Structure 1
Amino acid sequence: MNKEKRHEMLSRLRANNPHPTTELNFSSPFELLIAVILSAQATDVSVNKATDKLYPVANTPEAIYALGIDGLKEYIKTIGLFNSKTKNVIETCRILIEDHGSVVPENREALEALPGVGRKTANVVLNTAFGWLKDNKGKYFIAVDTHIQRVANRTGYAKGKTVEETERNIIKNTPNKTEFMYDLHHWLILHGRYTCIARNPRCGSCIIEDLCDYKDKTE
């Protein structure tokens, strides 16, 4: 896929969805942070079902920390890996309270120091909660999950054997970064979730099919 095709691909995805956002329910940076921690190896639907019950009861670091492990577990026990996630969320709340004045930090290093928060989660929070295009070192970033990894490689937009390599190549290959980078994560993840699915991609209803390098297109 060349530069012109990439620009056209992003232009079509933008025209189809001018204001994309996460499908996780949240009303504050803290709610988003917790939801993204819970979403690891789980669907957004399952996380929303849990947080829709949790957040009306506890949606601050103090309130969730006060629930304790046993109390929080009752709200998120339907989510995969809930035991480890419960411990991570409680510890994250403690650190936010003690070290950050109960405020989610706008800093990659501080975010990644929280239990259960890796580069992808930090990228989502920085982009979606705070509107960042670049991190605090001035470098562009994008959160890459399995959907984005698949779409980028399958279409030929950006090749990479690891999510880190794919992230670097997506950034390298994206034209007009100030124009496209803010929404790029959401365009790619939604395209991978509903159209360019892992098995039997829906090529026949894909708005970028003619631009895509995938050789085994379906009808």
Structure 2
Amino acid sequence: MKTLTSIFTVLLTIQLSAQSLIGAWEWVETREDGQKVKGVVTFTEGYQAAAWFDAETGAFIETNGGSWTLNGNTMTEVPEFHTSDTSKIGVPRSFEIEFDGNDKMRIVGTENWATRVDDGTPGDLNGAWLMSGRKRNGEIQERDTNRPRKTMKILSGTRFQWIAYNTETKQFMGTGGGIYTTVDGKYTENLEFFSRDDSKVGMSLEFNYELKDGKWHHSGKSSKGDPIYEIWSRR
């Protein structure tokens, strides 16, 4: 029996290690008050972000995220931002996950299964990025990405989320996300949630994008219609 148990453990470890969390996952849950909530979590190498919003209106509810590792079926995450409980920021948390095939995943002990949306492709920009500069009056103004005040954007193959936060003060400044495409030098965001202004949900914003020396140059007009030129660096 001990041998069979050992063999099963090895096979389970091999199966779990073959699974990949990289990409985006979605689920819908009905809360006690009857509200239908959509959840989305995006995993890139080393970093992840999760968001919850009203499935019908897109009204923002909460978000959290930070670094993560997976050892067998044990995930450990260290939040850099957490809107519902700031005491969790910077504190490692481990829990067990399980897969059902390659397209279903959940935390052990929970009811909701998340469905894989993509595996990190086909987006040209998939990964975790930090804003590292802006162009103003024709001049590039660089930003130190190691400082506590960060603006991060996480992209899978089809989904994106940006988050502005401070790891030192635990302050959260805003977030937004949805679906994106990259076609012929055009980066287009379709907003599904926006913490600062629910009325922006449903907007489609088109920008120019270009990768220069590994940095993402992003230009166009913001959701307010203001011209922007941002530079992002990979984490």
TM-score (norm 2): 0.27
More strand by share: 2
> Of the two structures, which has the highest relative contact order with CA contacts closer than 8 Å and spacing of 6 or more?
1
Which has the larger helix fraction? 1
Please report the TM-score for the alignment, with normalisation by the length of structure 1.
0.29
